[in-house]
């Protein structure tokens, strides 16, 4: 490649159209930074007749996106279609096999097939850039692979899904319930018609698997991320969180515990002292804790055409300048397989909300179950007058191993006084 880098873009939706606009608008600056012109020479999408509000003149249209892997007028393939299988997987695989660098925003593809694609990229000596796949416009992949590379990473965690953060922020500020706010998020274009990937935590888990691979030098293994979403969160949980001095956030957390790395996506109660608790709306934030650097926080737009195109452009400039490192920071052959859990396990404080019969002795019975599992109570709250013979109770437990808390909850579920299964939310202590 000399003088001009010819780019083939597969997918002209939110991100693809923004990328084409960005490359046109910032042509002079990008040429200066890349040392070459970045020119989109080929494009593909499903519907050729659709007006996308961008100028596609001079670009060759391909009905089948897979053909960009071998097209004669393409040096670099940009995959912006989405999906972990089908055309996206075929295109990326074949482009790499054909010795073509690839840039993608597709976290699902990389979380499912990142190991094999990383090996292919290395075998063929080409870049596979995916800055846009995690936290949209936040340059967290580069930060982990380069800026923080001198550290032993203890923990990486963050708000990795803007849709969930928007829903939780709205539920808190308006007191509305999950379904109501989800419908608004869909109307505003923040949530897909099928919101499952977002609200059930799968999208955040895809991103966490990628962050964890880089941070801990291990193979990507999405199947082993524990995933819980926000669809069971009630306005009452959010109100109690406020009362106890927390914000409720969906976090992806990857951390070293003993000899192993755990990767989990759960709703967490985050202390108001933590900067991440202040991140509202569709924004994302990622915290990295390294042994020499301490704690670093990156915050910014986690989605949207402009922010995501910004990350794609950064990868393209790296490709043009020949600056690229192994896909997950170290050679694929050196990535460790994920270890099974050792004797250490997650522990922390827990919030438990319950609906119980309003009769004498119930609180003592609950306290006895917690005592029998060696869990001590930090706070217990029963607010307002019980209604219709039921009383809502919230318990905050002191630090305890998670397995003990889960065992206690199982026993509590079987008690006669329980009118609605207990709802447990982890507290993120930092
Ligand atoms: N949107 C964001 O904020 C964001 C943020 C980070 C990462 N991402 C990732 O970026 C990728 C693209 O997202 P997006 O929001 O831009 O999606 P989108 O708006 O739905 O656009 C997808 C594009 O891909 C095209 N496409 C789909 N299937 C195709 C096929 N079989 N052959 C050729 N073209 C095909 C579509 O063509 P038609 O237009 O003709 O239908 C459309 O242009 C996804 O991997 C997503 O996860 C998105």
**pLDDT-derived band of residue 344, with 50, 70 and 90 as boundaries?**
low
Do 222 and 183 lie in one domain? The reply is yes
Pocket flag, ligand 1, residue 50 (CB < 6 Å):
yes
Do 52 and 126 lie in one domain? The reply is yes
> Long-range pairs for 337-342 at CB < 8 Å and ≥24 separation?
337/218, 337/219, 337/221, 338/218, 338/219, 338/221, 338/224, 338/260, 338/261, 339/259, 339/260, 339/261, 340/260, 341/260, 341/262, 342/257, 342/258, 342/259, 342/260
Tens digit of each residue's pLDDT (9 = 90 or more) over 389-429: 788 899 999 999 999 999 999 999 999 889 988 999 999 88
Three-state DSSP state, 263: strand
- Does the structure show a pLDDT above 50 at 118? yes
Rounded to whole angstroms, the Cα distance separating 254 from 213 reads: 10
Closest CA relative to residue 145, chosen from 282, 329, 350 = 329
Rounded to whole angstroms, the Cα distance separating 262 from 224 reads: 9
User: What is the average per-residue pLDDT within 252-260?
Assistant: 90
Paired tokens of 404: 């003990």
The CATH number of the domain holding residue 316 is 3.40.50.720
User: What is the average per-residue pLDDT within 312-323?
Assistant: 97
- Residue 203 placed within a domain: yes
Report pLDDT for 1.
47
Which H or E run contains 285? strand 283-290
Q: Whose CA is nearest to atom 35 of ligand 1?
A: 45
Q: What is the CA radius of gyration of the chain?
A: 24
Rounded to whole angstroms, the Cα distance separating 127 from 50 reads: 31
Rounded to whole angstroms, the Cα distance separating 143 from 131 reads: 10
- Residue 342 placed within a domain: no
Report pLDDT for 385.
64
The CATH number of the domain holding residue 291 is 3.30.360.10
Do 293 and 324 lie in one domain? The reply is no
Do 188 and 108 lie in one domain? The reply is no
Its pTM stands at 0.94
Do 173 and 263 lie in one domain? The reply is yes
Domain final position from 280, 301, 322: 301
Measured at the CA of 120, the angle between CA 116 and CA 122, to 5 degrees, comes to 115
Do 144 and 132 lie in one domain? The reply is no
- The domain containing residue 52 runs over which residues? 4-137+308-333
Q: Is the model more confident about 383 or about 188?
A: 188
Pocket flag, ligand 1, residue 310 (CB < 6 Å):
no
Give the residue, out of 45, 71, 85, with the most ligand 1 atoms within 8 A of its beta carbon, to mutate for a pocket test.
Answer: 45
- Residue 338 placed within a domain: no
Do 271 and 208 lie in one domain? The reply is yes
Do 45 and 163 lie in one domain? The reply is no
User: What is the average per-residue pLDDT within 62-68?
Assistant: 98
Rounded to whole angstroms, the Cα distance separating 198 from 203 reads: 5
Which residues of 80-165 form beta strands (DSSP E)? 102-104, 128-129, 153-159
Which of 97, 107, 142, 207 is catalytic? The answer is 207
Q: Is the model more confident about 360 or about 87?
A: 87
- Residue 341 placed within a domain: no
**Backbone φ/ψ region at 278: left (φ over 0), alpha (ψ -120 to 50), beta:** alpha
Rounded to whole angstroms, the Cα distance separating 350 from 352 reads: 6
Do 360 and 277 lie in one domain? The reply is no
- Residue 294 placed within a domain: yes
Pocket flag, ligand 1, residue 41 (CB < 6 Å):
no
Do 147 and 255 lie in one domain? The reply is yes
* CA pseudo-torsion sign 213, 219, 220, 224: negative
- Residue 340 placed within a domain: no
Paired tokens of 387: 């209604």
Residue entry with tokens 């003088």? 3
Q: Whose CA is nearest to atom 19 of ligand 1?
A: 13
Q: Tell me the pLDDT of the chain averaged across its residues.
A: 93
Do 258 and 407 lie in one domain? The reply is no
Paired tokens of 292: 């020499």
Ligand 1 centroid, distance to 15 Cα (angstroms) = 7
The answer to whether the CB of 11 falls within 8 A of the CB of 65 is yes
Number of domains present in the structure of the chain: 3
Ligand 1 centroid, distance to 106 Cα (angstroms) = 9
207 is catalytic: yes
- Residue 218 placed within a domain: yes
Report pLDDT for 386.
63
Report pLDDT for 359.
85
Ligand 1 centroid, distance to 85 Cα (angstroms) = 13
Report pLDDT for 382.
83
- Residue 339 placed within a domain: no
Pocket flag, ligand 1, residue 105 (CB < 6 Å):
yes
Tens digit of each residue's pLDDT (9 = 90 or more) over 224-233: 899 999 999 9
The answer to whether the CB of 382 falls within 8 A of the CB of 358 is no
Paired tokens of 255: 């951390």
Ligand 1 centroid, distance to 84 Cα (angstroms) = 12
Ligand 1 centroid, distance to 408 Cα (angstroms) = 45
Do 125 and 145 lie in one domain? The reply is no
């Amino acid at each position: 490649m000399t003088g001009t880098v010819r780019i083939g873009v597969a997918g002209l939706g939110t991100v693809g159209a923004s990328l084409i606009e960005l490359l046109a608008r910032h042509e002079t600056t990008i040429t200066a930074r890349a040392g070459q012109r970045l020119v989109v020479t080929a494009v593909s999408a499903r519907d050729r007749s659709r007006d996308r509000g961008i100028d596609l003149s001079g670009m060759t249209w391909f009905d089948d996106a897979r053909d960009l892997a071998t097209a004669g007028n393409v040096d670099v393939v940009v995959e912006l279609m989405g999906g972990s299988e089908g055309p996206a997987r075929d295109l990326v695989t074949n482009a790499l096999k054909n010795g073509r660098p690839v840039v993608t925003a597709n976290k699902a593809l990389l979380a499912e097939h990142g190991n094999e694609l990383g090996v292919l990229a290395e075998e063929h000596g080409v870049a596979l850039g995916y800055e846009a796949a995690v936290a949209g416009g936040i340059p967290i992949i580069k930060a982990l692979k380069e800026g923080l590379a001198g550290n032993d990473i203890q923990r990486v965690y963050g708000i990795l899904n803007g849709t969930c953060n928007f829903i939780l922020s709205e539920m808190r500020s308006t007191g509305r319930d999950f379904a109501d706010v989800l419908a608004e998020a869909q109307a505003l274009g923040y949530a897909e018609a099928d919101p499952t990937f977002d609200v059930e935590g799968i999208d955040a888990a895809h991103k966490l698997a990628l962050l964890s691979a880089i941070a801990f030098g291990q193979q990507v293994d999405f199947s082993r991320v524990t995933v819980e979403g926000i669809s069971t969160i009630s306005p009452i949980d959010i109100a109690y969180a406020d009362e106890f001095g927390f914000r409720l956030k969906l976090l992806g957390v990857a951390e070293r515990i003993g000899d192993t790395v755990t990767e989990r996506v759960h709703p967490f109660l985050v202390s108001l002292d933590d900067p991440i608790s202040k991140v509202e709306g569709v924004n994302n934030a990622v915290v990295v804790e390294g042994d020499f650097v301490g704690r670093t926080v990156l915050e910014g737009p986690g989605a949207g055409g402009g922010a995501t195109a910004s990350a794609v452009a950064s990868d393209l400039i790296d490709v043009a300048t020949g600056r690229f490192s192994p896909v997950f920071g170290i050679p694929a052959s050196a990535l460790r397989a994920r270890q099974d859990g050792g004797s250490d396990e997650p522990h922390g404080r827990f919030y438990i909300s319950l609906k119980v019969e309003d009769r004498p002795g119930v609180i003592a019975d609950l306290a006895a179950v917690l005592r029998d599992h060696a869990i001590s109570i930090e706070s217990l709250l029963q607010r307002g007058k019980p209604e219709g013979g039921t009383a809502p109770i919230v318990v905050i437990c002191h630090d305890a191993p998670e397995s003990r808390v889960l065992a206690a909850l199982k026993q509590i579920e079987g008690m006669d006084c329980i009118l609605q299964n207990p709802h447990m939310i982890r507290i993120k202590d930092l």
